[in-house]
Amino acid sequence: MEIFRAVGANMVGLTPIGITDDFASEEPPFIDSSDIADPDDPRLKFSAADRDAFKAIMKRIFAEYKDLSETRNALLHGTWFVGYGSRADPNANTFYVHKLQTTKIGLTRVEGLPKSAPELITLAERCDDTRTWIGFLESCVSALVPFKDRFVQERGDWFLVIGGRHEPLPRKSTKPASPEQA
């Protein structure tokens, strides 16, 4: 919990979320701080810019995680139609997932779900990217790497710096356009 306080997450309006098996504790830990011997270690003091970066990066990760979670739930709870060939797809390389959702206008079909193995692989790559961002953010919070060395903001967008490359979250070309956007 010390790292969470040091980052100042409470001051930026984030609520601590327990991500360990110890959900019964009074204050659920955000990140396991067992590796840090002294919570007063000066390396754990973060600037206002670091706290702002943390908040913005967490917001970005949460948005991607939420989208991935909703897609996962639609795939898991939808009805899959696999192996049905057609004139346009005689080898049945594509499939269809039927899932309904409640909206203001009633039941509507969930759009934009993957329809082929390559699209599922792309979805898995987005999961890997999100996990990578979480891992590098944790390394910054654990005072192993300064925020400014790992994350940069350009033109209002955040990027993860890996080997000199700036990686966005999500990758811009991973999500297929829905019929409404086309």
Q: Looking at the structure, do residues 9 and 32 belong to the same domain, yes or no?
A: yes
Q: Looking at the structure, do residues 73 and 5 belong to the same domain, yes or no?
A: no
Handedness of CA 137, 160, 162, 175 (dihedral sign): positive
Show the domain range for 13. Answer: 1-45
Report residue 77 as tokens. 């709870």
Specify the higher pLDDT residue, 148 or 110.
110
Q: Looking at the structure, do residues 151 and 117 belong to the same domain, yes or no?
A: yes
DSSP for 49-93, written as a single string: HHHHHHHHHHHHHHHHHHHHHHHHHHHHHSEEE-S---SS-TT--
pTM equals: 0.68
> Which residues make beta-bridge pairs with 80?
97
Q: Looking at the structure, do residues 80 and 156 belong to the same domain, yes or no?
A: yes
Q: Looking at the structure, do residues 41 and 54 belong to the same domain, yes or no?
A: no
Q: Which residue, 42, 60, 55, is CA-closest to 15? A: 55
Q: Looking at the structure, do residues 169 and 95 belong to the same domain, yes or no?
A: yes
Residue-wise pLDDT for 59-88, tens only, equals 999 999 999 999 999 999 999 999 998 899
Q: Total structural domains in the chain?
A: 2
Q: Looking at the structure, do residues 41 and 68 belong to the same domain, yes or no?
A: no
In this prediction, residue 107 carries a pLDDT of 96
Q: Looking at the structure, do residues 25 and 99 belong to the same domain, yes or no?
A: no
**Which residue, chain included where needed, has tokens 């590796």?**
35
Q: How many CB atoms lie within 10 A of CB 151?
A: 23
Residue-wise pLDDT for 87-100, tens only, equals 999 999 999 999 99
